[in-house]
Amino acid sequence: MRVVLLGYGTGGSIFHAPLITSVPGMVLTAVVTGNPARQDAVRQRYPGVAVLPDPAPVFDAPANCDLVVITTPNRTHVPLATRALEAGLPVVIDKPIAVTSEQARRLAEIGPPVFPYHNRRWDGDFRTLQRLMAEGVLGGIRRFESRFERWRPLVKESWKESADPADAGSIVYDLGTHLIDQAVCLFGPPTHVYAELDTRRAGATAADDAFLALTHENGTRSHLWMSATAADLGPRFRVLGDRASYVTHGMDVQEEMLRAGRTPREPGWGQMPPETYGFLGVPGASRPVRTDPGAWQEFYVGVVNALEHGGPPPVPIEDAVAGLEIIEAALRSAAGR
């Protein structure tokens, strides 16, 4: 499967290219970036991969490509995806796949498959939680608490910090998309959404501290925190069932490994050290549970299976649409509408 990667910033260089080149049945044939330093970085790490300054040749000659991966600033996702889809090419789109839920629905209607890149479904702690739920040891989940918190008191100049709605900036579209998707994956879309969105840091113009409360149809409540201003980091997961709880701290190790230049082809990929294992149990009787290995590469394995063998998509686009609807409801809630 011949893959063209659009964008080679943090997303392309760390979160996509190393995974694409690690999955059997995929070959990275070209990277599109107009940045000279990033062009040199592609040539150094992936000799033989074509480097293009503009995506026009890809859309003008779609027979030379089997899949387009879009990891560019949020406001460009829909225009680039539309051009690829209208050329008959399936696309992977980094999160969020669009600025609005309506844009996402229109992408789904064009024809070729759209794969939302929600890689956090393959975090080790999330996979472990799914296993524990399937085994029934937690019982019915009453409350799902989930956090992506950071201590970044200084604002960096970035489109992610933009208050322009067209940029889909703010902590909600960034980290919040992951947390919302995990909740939707576990419990389905909510029936009610409540949100508190704040802009805390000096010089910030977009929300950098947020809390969302989702009520799901089965009665489970998801409480989601996302912040760049957390001077103390809470539990990553605190899952309260009617039989037991599962509590973890710290982030999945795969991002750290990718930033260090490692890939899923290496032994020990995605495995958390024992001192970071979460705890299962009740007060006074809990035990550590080995964290399942993280496996972000399985997203792309799922893409290959869907396109070549007719399997289900690794992430249904309907879930991405639901996630954007939740963000839109959160914005209304925070504004008192």
Model pLDDT for residues 275-292, shown as the tens digit of each residue? 999 999 999 999 999 999
Q: Which CATH class is domain 124-295?
A: alpha beta
Cα(26)–Cα(300) distance, rounded to whole angstroms?
9
What's the token pair of residue 170? 């703010």
Pairing of strands 27-32, 50-52: parallel
Would you kindly state where each structural domain of the chain is located, as residue ranges? 2-117, 124-295
The pLDDT of residue 337 is: 74
When the candidates are 3.40.109.10, 3.40.1800.10, 3.30.1360.70, 3.40.50.720, the CATH number that belongs to 2-117 is 3.40.50.720
- Across the chain, mean pLDDT equals 97
Amino acid at 87: A
Cα(189)–Cα(46) distance, rounded to whole angstroms?
40
* Full-model pTM: 0.95
Cα(106)–Cα(135) distance, rounded to whole angstroms?
38
Cα(146)–Cα(239) distance, rounded to whole angstroms?
8
Closest to 176 in 3D by CA, of 153, 199, 155, 197: 197
State pLDDT tens for residues 116-155.
999 999 999 999 999 999 999 999 999 999 999 999 999 9
Cα–Cα distances in Å, from 16 out to 13, 135, 325? 6, 32, 26
Residue 264 makes CB contacts below 8 A (sequence gap 6+) with 18, 19, 22, 270, 295, 296, 297
The pLDDT of residue 156 is: 87
